[in-house]
Structure 1
Amino acid sequence: MIEIQQSQGVLQLVINRPEKKNALTRDMYQQLGDAVFRANNDETVNAIVISGAGGVFTAGNDLDDFRARATDENPKPSAGLVFIEALINSDTPVIAAVEGLAIGIGTTLLLHVDVVVAAESAKFKTAFVDLGLVPEAASTVTMPLHLGARRTTDLLLLGEVLNGNEARECGLVSRVVDDGQALAEAMIVAAGLATKPREALRASKRLIRAPWREQVEQALAREREVFSERLRSEDCRAALDKLPGAERA
């Protein structure tokens, strides 16, 4: 489930499924996307904070959802991408507080938020290729933009794992704090943003992102098509069948 709280201009979204390492289901994506969309049109919200319960950000997409989509003859649009599109279209600043695992979309969604606060021992990893899939969430454009082409290859093709400090060094993370302090620091950042003139803040964010907005939208469309094809491939199904239910990507 997604816990939603609002106070003093800050909307807090907490991914709360600790028994599954906060793996995201279709319903959870829908809740996140709806909350971000509503906040963007709410004049009482000046900042959004996304975090995970139980010392974990998120272990990524629930693999049971992948398995269901792989065999569905009439698949529904990806709820995960609906959430990503809500982030892309949000003029309200978004801050992520990352503790523990940030796997798959748990890493790629960070490329669409404005400030990422990570604990030192946070773990960032994408395993799309290992599952017979391809990168998503427009990460084929946004990751080279933030990290450069070489580091993007390390993460998206080689599946390299980064800790908080390594993620900060390559530009994935804005700032690193002691373990257990990511949310507190993110709330401080959000509180500071909440005091700023709302329309100036939103207009500035639009201007910052305008140069590559069209590229991001095109990447989403390309990735969506290929990801859907790969999800139904034999090697993807074989990879999913080999994984225990506790693992996520």
Structure 2
Amino acid sequence: MINKYREQKTIHFVIDRPSKKNAFTRSMYEQLAGYVREANYDEQVHAIVISGAEGVFTAGNDLDDFRARATDVNPKPSAGLAFIEVLMACDTPVIAAVEGVAIGIGTTMLLHCDSVFAGRSARFKTAFVDLGLVPEAASTVTMPLHLGSRMAAELLLFGETLDGTQAGECGLVSRVVDDGQALDSALAMAARLADKPRDALRASKRLMKAPWESQARQALDREREVFSARLRSDDCRNALGRM
């Protein structure tokens, strides 16, 4: 489930499924997408914070969901990518607080956040190729943009794991803090944004996104098509069967 907390001009969403390391189900994506969309249109909200429950950000997409979609002859559109589209369209600043693991979409969604605080021992990994899949969430554009093409290859092609310090050095996260301090730091940043003019924040964010927004949307569409095909491949089915 996704928990929602509000304090003055800040809204905080918590990914809360600790028994599965906060892995996303379809309903969780839909719930979080709805919350982000609602917050974006709330004239009292100046900042959004996203974190995970019990010291873990998220293990990414629930593998059972992948298994179901891989065998479904008439699969529904990806709820994860629908959530990413909502995040991409959000003009309200979004701040992520990462502790523990951030796997798959748990890493790629950070590329659509405006600030990311991470604990030093946090772990970031995108294992798409290992699963017989391809990158998603427009990461084939946003990750080279933020990290450079070679570091993007380390994550998206080679499946390397970064800790919080390494993620800070390459620019995947904004600030590295002591373990257990990511959420407090993110909330403190959100409180600072709450004192700034909302319309100016939103207009500035739109201007910053404008040069690469269309490229990211085109990448999202390309990835969606190939990802869907790869999900039904023998490579993917075999990988999922081993897990």
Give how far 1:63 is off. Answer: 0.1
**For the residues of structure 1 that align with 2:67 and 2:58, how far apart are their CA atoms?**
19
Q: Deviations over 1:178-198 (max 9, x none)?
A: 000100000000000111001
Identity %: 71
**SS of the residue 2:162 aligns to:** coil
Corresponding residue for residue 6 of structure 2: 6
1:174 maps to amino acid: S
**For the residues of structure 1 that align with 2:241 and 2:9, how far apart are their CA atoms?**
45
Give how far 1:89 is off. Answer: 0.2
**For the residues of structure 1 that align with 2:37 and 2:16, how far apart are their CA atoms?**
20
1:209 aligns with 2:209: yes
**For the residues of structure 2 that align with 1:175 and 1:34, how far apart are their CA atoms?**
28
Corresponding residue for residue 136 of structure 2: 136
**SS of the residue 1:196 aligns to:** coil
Runs of 4+ in 1 over 6 A off after TM superposition: none
Alignment root-mean-square deviation, CA: 0.4
2:90 maps to amino acid: S
Q: After the TM superposition, which residues 3-152 of structure 1 pair with which residues of structure 2 at under 5 Å, given as runs?
A: 3-152=3-152
Corresponding residue for residue 155 of structure 1: 155
When the two structures are superposed, what TM-score results if normalisation uses the length of structure 2?
Answer: 0.99
1:220 aligns with 2:220: yes
Q: Deviations over 1:97-123 (max 9, x none)?
A: 000000000000000000000000000
Q: Deviations over 1:148-190 (max 9, x none)?
A: 0000000001111001110011010000110001000000000
**SS of the residue 1:83 aligns to:** helix
Q: After the TM superposition, which residues 166-245 of structure 1 pair with which residues of structure 2 at under 5 Å, given as runs?
A: 166-243=166-243
**For the residues of structure 1 that align with 2:5 and 2:56, how far apart are their CA atoms?**
19
Aligned length: 243
Give how far 1:76 is off. Answer: 0.7
Structure 1 segments unaligned to the other structure (5+ residues)? 244-249
Structure 2 segments unaligned to the other structure (5+ residues)? none
Q: Deviations over 1:63-110 (max 9, x none)?
A: 000000001111111100111011100000000000000000000000
Give how far 1:12 is off. Answer: 0.4
1:163 maps to amino acid: D
